[in-house]
Amino acid sequence: MSVPPNHVLVEWMSDQRLGSRELAELVNKAVAELTGRPGGLDDSNIRAWRSGRVRCPKSVQLRALEHVSGKSATDLGFERRTRSPATAPAQEEPPVLRRHLVQGAVAIAASAATPTYAAPRRIGITDVERLQQRFADIIASDHRHGGQQTIEQQAAALSDEALQLQASGAASQRVRGYLYASAAAFRSSAMWAAIDGRRYNSAIAHMREAQQLAEMSGDQAIKFRIWSHAGTMYRHMKRPADAAAANDVARNLAITRRDPLFASLGHARHAAIHATAADLRATRRSFDAAQEAMQRADPDAQRPVWMRAFYDQAELDSLALSAFMSLAEYDAAEAHAHRCLAALRPHMHRSRAITTSRLALAQLRQGDLEPAVTSAMRVPQDAATSHPRVIEMLAAVGAELRKKAPTSSPTRLWTEYARTLKGTVK
pLDDT digit string, tens, across residues 77-124:
888 655 444 333 333 333 433 333 333 333 333 333 433 334 456 778
Whether 60 is covered by a domain: the verdict is yes
Domain-terminating residue out of 218, 236, 259: 218
Distance CA 329, CA 391 (A): 22
pLDDT of residue 215: 92
Identify whether the C-beta of residue 401 lies closer than 8 Å to the C-beta of residue 364: yes
One domain, residues 210 and 135: yes
Whether 210 is covered by a domain: the verdict is yes
For 29, the domain range is 7-76
Whether 145 is covered by a domain: the verdict is yes
pLDDT of residue 2: 67
One domain, residues 23 and 134: no
Whether 54 is covered by a domain: the verdict is yes
Whether 147 is covered by a domain: the verdict is yes
Whether 142 is covered by a domain: the verdict is yes
pLDDT of residue 80: 67
The dihedral sign for the CA sequence 183, 189, 193, 194: positive
Whether 12 is covered by a domain: the verdict is yes
One domain, residues 29 and 68: yes
pLDDT of residue 15: 66
Domain-terminating residue out of 184, 200, 218: 218
* Spans of the chain below 70 pLDDT: 1-2, 15-17, 80-121, 137-148, 422-426
With a threshold of 0.75, does the pTM exceed it? no
One domain, residues 103 and 201: yes
pLDDT of residue 424: 52
Domain-terminating residue out of 200, 218, 236: 218
One domain, residues 103 and 194: yes
One domain, residues 25 and 104: no
Whether 183 is covered by a domain: the verdict is yes
The count of residues in the chain is 426
pLDDT of residue 354: 94
One domain, residues 103 and 50: no
One domain, residues 60 and 131: no
One domain, residues 58 and 104: no
One domain, residues 191 and 145: yes
One domain, residues 56 and 103: no
User: How many domains does the chain contain in total?
Assistant: 2
pLDDT of residue 98: 37
One domain, residues 131 and 72: no
